[in-house]
Structure 1
């Protein structure tokens, strides 16, 4: 069984090997990564950190990940996970130990729960809906981000290719 960072490496290969149905940024440098973690008050888990470092933000076969990135129009403002997490905290009272990584398409947010760190430094992947305060009622999607993202993207690419 592959670990979370190994799954992230496989996802990088998947994105790069399917550039006709994938998009990604140029990556996130150490300074922007540190600023993102500082703004959020929590460190990224290793598998998410690896993907942000590589791509900044990315999508493949319709699966879109927030990541961390900047645009010329927004200047030094950190977008993606940082902006969406801070917005969810201020607008909806999302707990400060959750990090938004995706939208679930049904009004919920796919989040990393930094209050529950495993021995590899990874956080579980949960679905948070505005108003939910009890973590036991949150749906758990995976034990770590790398495995979650790789499996999701691998299925999406397979479906996309089979529909051609």
Structure 2
């Protein structure tokens, strides 16, 4: 039963993020412990590692500005462990329209560690070549933040 509840929470979080610029970040951030570690693979505007909900919020705010109409589809969620040490692996696909008429599409993997209902670690992995192409397109069309270094 516990694992089903965790899967439901993860699906709801991805549905919330799929609201793009209208997503309620507080709903997402309340899932994190105050000292959580968050990382996104790659050396680009969304890449890098940050710690604590203040820095994680800054990442999500940038994410919303870069991809205001993003959509996630959760393909599979694997949950193991107990409430004091839960490991969650989520396989997802993502797409977002780009200003040149192309649609950014990618596959991703998220690995979470949850302790007593709070995310303590969140690691995101996508094909960074596809993501970099999308970020370059956005920058060429005037979204300078898409070409900035990681926060």
Same fold (TM over 0.5): no
**Greater strand content:** 2
**TM-score, normalising length from structure 2?**
0.31
